[in-house]
Amino acid sequence: MLIFNTTYTDKSDESEINELVGTPFSFFKRIQLKGIGSKRMIIYSVSKNFKKLINNVSDINYANIELRPKGIIVHFTQQLRRYSWAIPYYKLVIFNGDYFSIHSDSSFIQLMKAKGKDQNRSIIQKIFLLKSKISEEYEFR
């Protein structure tokens, strides 16, 4: 599980994230994909190792997803700190049931679906599309 404190820019963290999930998409690729980020989603539940990074008081916790060429980054905040969870596509498992659930390395974040279900449907479809393109590049035997 690779979680980075991205409140302030740190060159070593930035280079490690870029190595894991690729550098950010170019301006033209962002336009071609019609956006690379999700809308703000409410965090419903997290695994035990995330509990200390999420606000435990009555605040609502939010997260959003950023697409990268080789993976995704889930951004969330705790009070004034911002954290980023970098997940390469080969470690990414997604469940789309009552909640939108992102799993990797025995950690997970469950996100509530928006009332307008189409709101985040496009980001989910883009994740599956990019993940399938990456898996096609590798030959499994």
Distance, in Å, from the CA atom of 21 to the CA atom of 16, rounded to the nearest integer, reads: 9
* Domain presence at residue 54: yes
**CA-CA distances (angstroms) from residue 19 to 14, 24, 83, 137?**
9, 11, 17, 18
CATH number at residue 54: 2.30.29.30
* Domain presence at residue 140: no
Return the pLDDT at 5: 87
Residue 85: strand, helix, or coil: strand
| Range(s) of the domain holding residue 128 | 2-135
pLDDT tens across 63-101, in order?
999 999 999 999 998 888 899 999 999 999 998 888 889
* Domain presence at residue 55: yes
pLDDT tens across 103-131, in order?
998 899 999 877 655 667 888 888 888 88
Average pLDDT value over all residues in the chain? 86
Domain count, the chain: 1
* Domain presence at residue 8: yes
Distance, in Å, from the CA atom of 118 to the CA atom of 120, rounded to the nearest integer, reads: 6
Return the pLDDT at 122: 84
